[in-house]
Structure 1
Amino acid sequence: MAPAFLGFSSLSPLSYKSFSSDLPGISASPSTIFGTQLKLVEIEQTHLSLPISFKSNSVLRLKASMEPPGLTQELTNSKQESIIGTRNGSDLFNEMKHRFLSFKRQKFLENLECYENLAKSQAPKFMVIACADSRVCPSYILGFQPGEAFVVRNVANLVPPFENGPTETNAALEFAVNSLEVENILVIGHSCCGGIRALMSMQDDVNSSSFIRSWVVVGKNARLSTKAVASNLSFDQQCRHCEKESINRSLMSLLTYPWIHERVTKGKLSIHGGYYNFVDCTFEKWTLDYEQSSLREESGKYSLKNREFWS
């Protein structure tokens, strides 16, 4: 249905009357409604993406006429910027609508039986912990289909240790491991990570109420390790090192959860790391070697196996 503010043709006679009553000197008769004075208002109104009453429009024009030219120009520019912003937002959702309908036609309806089964239950083999960065979409880059991966995303793809207490990340871990019984947990880091950059920029002696700082401090051991072994490198290179180091520290943090540790020792669950470089579109994958890794995350003693580089 076309929005009522796109033109007068979509307004009922009652609407004409209510709008015209707000304007002094304009009657509700048809000859006056389509007169010159109201046509001017109509022309201005068609440039708006949100409905504004004629009364407020007329008051705005009257006020602007009494102000100096500079203020009038400011009001005009502000109005235009608001129009552009609203129009762009509308276009974005229109595009989203078309994408959804395309998905429904080309995927949902063509694989209806599959989606009907997914509506009843899920049995993913993977749990994925990835960064919230808009450039890193696990399903898009790794081709996960609906029902194949239980995904949680947070800033810098960090896994807090068990003793840190509840977060949305370990709540998702508990559900994925204990209820869905996933067979693999994959922690995915990535290049140019803003969360890791914030972690590496953090000053130890500065108290801050920043939510970002309070979260990324989870990766403090990865930061300390990076500073210890890569202090001679540039800051950008240190961040790159920490992006990978934090993944492995998160793998060790996973083992601090009793129910994850139990399933790993029984061979029912494997823990993996991945690193997506979106600059050159490469992906590294590896698996934590539980038998050779220390249980104390602080020790930094971990061993990796099955390393692969996809390019």
Structure 2
Amino acid sequence: MSSGLNLRTALLLLVPPLLWAGNAVVGRLVNTLVPPITLNFLRWALAFLILLPLAGWVLRRGSPLWPHWKRFLLLGLLGVGAYNALQYLALQTSTPLNVTLVASSTPVFMLGIGWLCFGQRVTGRQIAGAVLSIAGVLIVLSRGQWAMLAQVELVVGDLYVLLATLAWAFYSWLLSQPKEPSEIRQDWAAFLMAQIIFGLGWSGMFAAGEWALKADAQITWGWPLAAALLYVAIGPAILAYRCWGLGVQRAGPAIAGFFANLTPLFAALLSAAFLGELPHVYHGVAFALIVGGIVVSSRR
């Protein structure tokens, strides 16, 4: 059950978009080194090895995981097997501007799925918060020049992002509906491991299909790819999922969804840092709008 938004919960929900922004930057950097769906599989395989000493007990025959395997099979599909694989795949055929623009619909998906599938009442404040938050994202994407948005042309990659956003919204709502044993729910490493176990099966099948369909698929091993895999496994995978799961439990999926809109803002700032460019005024305006959307939507 959610208990609303406070400073500690807000800080928890700030960590995932920051790490996910870095994930997008790294995903673009290794674009030519590894196929996108394979990158997702390798990422979670490494995360599995990292978590094994902490949560290997859930693999045992008498573990409380197995009576609830159907739930974790679904969570593994949505959060591990599909979400990032679709995003990495989208970057192959769509521009970063389009990918981030389509992904900015996360709060709308959160509210819509909560209303349609989980009986969640949508308030006027949440709608107002969604408008403010999306406005902030659009300012970042247009770099303060609205005419740039008119140049956007949707391609197949944008469909992948929509599917990824839909998967993430369902995943987040499922997190807010605890049905697994307390031994797993209260152990963050075990809870994530339980998802990864089944998620590796899904992502492995998807990666196998990628290699079967893509004749020129190859992996360029080296320190750049190794460093990238280490980051995406520890940061966006383990740390971000841990913070997101806690934040969703405490604030609820609808409020948490607004924090996801900070990802493109953080991505813009990280890109500016790597390019040596200073932040612009519109970054501050966008940040104020996104935070304003969070505050408005979370007020009781």
Higher-helix-fraction structure: 2
Higher-strand-fraction structure: 1
Task: State the TM bucket, normalised to the shorter chain.
Answer: under 0.3
- Higher CA-based Rg: 1
Structure number with greater CO (CA < 8 Å, separation at least 6) is 2
TM-score between both structures, scaled by the size of structure 2 = 0.22
TM-score between both structures, scaled by the size of structure 1 = 0.22
